[in-house]
Structure 1
Amino acid sequence: MSAVLSIDKLNKRFGGVVVADDIDLQLGAGEVLGLIGPNGAGKTTLFNLISGVIAADAGNISLGGKRLDSLPVYRRARHGVARTWQHMRLFNSMSVLDNLLIAASSYPGESFWRLIAAGGSVKAAEARNREKAHAILTRMGLAPLAHTNVADITFGQQKLIGMARALMSESPLLLLDEPMAGVEGSAYETMRQIVAEEAASGRAICVVEHNVSFIRALCTSAIFMVRGRIIERGGVEALLESRALAELYFGK
């Protein structure tokens, strides 16, 4: 199986602090890879390097065989990198629906000249985006909140909106940064189901998560990171039972 995401010898340091140390990684379609490790291990930094928020000092990042490491954030997103954030970065003064619409991968109305020359096709594209956004909200049980301001919904619902926004693209790669933090009850079950369905549809998914139950339920494999370095990779159960992992998390 060819890799959706391929990382080779990725390195990054800030001054004397190494945050990515010779990282090699491959992730295939339908895989759910868990990134675990203590705070400061470099998990979110790895997401930032993949998505282009920060630039690597050395190494290669490829998506579907296309090199990404020299591209800015917006071009990586267009090539197929979608992600969520620990702090969701939603537009609180906008409605739930509008938060999804701004994440659409195809929005021809952004071009002034296309809007003037081909207004009909722009309106058709906008209608398709609205239909898609409503379908995602329905799938998540949030359709009644479509026209509610994000600031007026619960934290768990906001987490789901962060996921819904990532799903507005057709990206083959989905990076989820602590999707379950602060999520419980029905929102937890919905998030778990959505991740399982997206993996079954063929998306490659990488998850930073401290919720061990979530990792056990959904991840096909896991990586343990410490100080910007991958210490171990393997099956979830074997990794969670690792003595090295236990000592680094809890002490000897």
Structure 2
Amino acid sequence: MTTLVSLNTVCKSFGGIVVADHISIDIHGGEILGLIGPNGAGKTSLFNLISGLYPVDSGTITVAGKPLDGLPMYQRARLGVARTWQHMRLFASMTVLENILVAPRDYPGEKISQIIFRTKQINSAEQALCERAMSILHRMNLTSIAHSNVSDISFGQQKLVGLARALMNDGDCLLLDEPMAGVEGNAYETMKTIVREEAAAGRAICVVEHNVSFIKDLCNSAVFMARGCILERGSVQTLLSSKTLADLYFGT
């Protein structure tokens, strides 16, 4: 399998608090990697390092062979790093569709010269992006609320909108930070289906999730973290039967 996301001896600390201690992980195209561990293990911090919210102290991160060292978040997004957030960070005053349309990697209307001299091309690009956004909403059974204010829809629907926004970035790396927290029923099943489809399309997916059933259903393999370190890695079933995981994660 092709390695699309690679972390090599990545380190990060805040004073005396170590959130990443020589982390090395490869995520392959078509793989769904589970990242599990107790609160404070460093799981979300790892996502913050990949997406550029935190700079690394040392080590390297590459996506599709391209180094991310020193790049700001927006440039990493343009290279294909997409993520969701524990707290969804949706734009509360905007509609569902508008929230999704902020996320494409390349939008020609960002340059003033193109707005002035290439109006026809920009209008065509906007139409194509709108059609793509509606197609993603259709996959999630959310077309009926496309023009609803995002603050007026259910929590489960908001979680799906967060995922839809990440999917508008069609790059190689998809980071899902607790996508199932507070999600149940139809939204839960839809989320699983979409994640499977994205992996089948060749994306490298990493999921931070406390819902063990979700991890068991979806992930090819998993990494168990605690105190900024990788303690164990392997199949999900192997990790769930680990005494180390039981002691640190479940408190047994």
- 1:203 and 1:82 mapped to 2: Cα distance? 11
SS in 1 for 2:6: strand
- 1:107 and 1:2 mapped to 2: Cα distance? 28
- 2:246 and 2:30 mapped to 1: Cα distance? 29
Partner residue, 1:157: 157
- 1:106 and 1:72 mapped to 2: Cα distance? 16
Q: How much does 1:2 deviate?
A: 2.7
Kindly tell me the number of residue pairs found equivalent between the two proteins: 252
Partner residue, 2:237: 237
Partner residue, 1:189: 189
SS in 2 for 1:35: strand
Q: How much does 1:198 deviate?
A: 0.5
Q: How much does 1:126 deviate?
A: 0.2
Structure 1 length-normalised TM: 0.99
Is the CA contact 1:106–1:125 (under 8 Å) kept in the aligned structure 2? Answer: no
Superposed, which structure 2 residues align to 1:19-30 within 5 Å?
Answer: 19-30=19-30
SS in 2 for 1:192: helix
- 1:251 and 1:191 mapped to 2: Cα distance? 29
Partner residue, 1:86: 86
The Cα RMSD (Å) is: 0.7
Partner residue, 2:227: 227
Partner residue, 1:9: 9
- 2:215 and 2:251 mapped to 1: Cα distance? 22
State, as a whole percentage, how many aligned pairs show the same letter.
Answer: 62
- CA deviations 1:149-179 (Å, max 9, x no partner) are 0000000000000000000011111000000
SS in 1 for 2:187: helix
Partner residue, 2:117: 117
Is the CA contact 2:32–2:204 (under 8 Å) kept in the aligned structure 1? Answer: yes
Q: How much does 1:86 deviate?
A: 0.2
SS in 1 for 2:85: coil
Q: How much does 1:223 deviate?
A: 0.3
- 1:18 and 1:88 mapped to 2: Cα distance? 25
SS in 1 for 2:109: helix
AA in 2 matched with 1:34: G
Partner residue, 1:131: 131
- CA deviations 1:219-238 (Å, max 9, x no partner) are 00000000000000100101
- 2:2 and 2:213 mapped to 1: Cα distance? 29
Q: Which moved more, 1:63-72 or 1:177-186?
A: 63-72
Structure 2: 5+ residue runs without aligned partners?
none
SS in 1 for 2:175: strand
SS in 1 for 2:22: strand
AA in 1 matched with 2:206: C
AA in 2 matched with 1:94: M
Is the CA contact 1:84–1:175 (under 8 Å) kept in the aligned structure 2? Answer: yes
Give the ranges of 4+ consecutive aligned residues of structure 1 lying more than 3 Å apart after TM superposition.
Answer: none
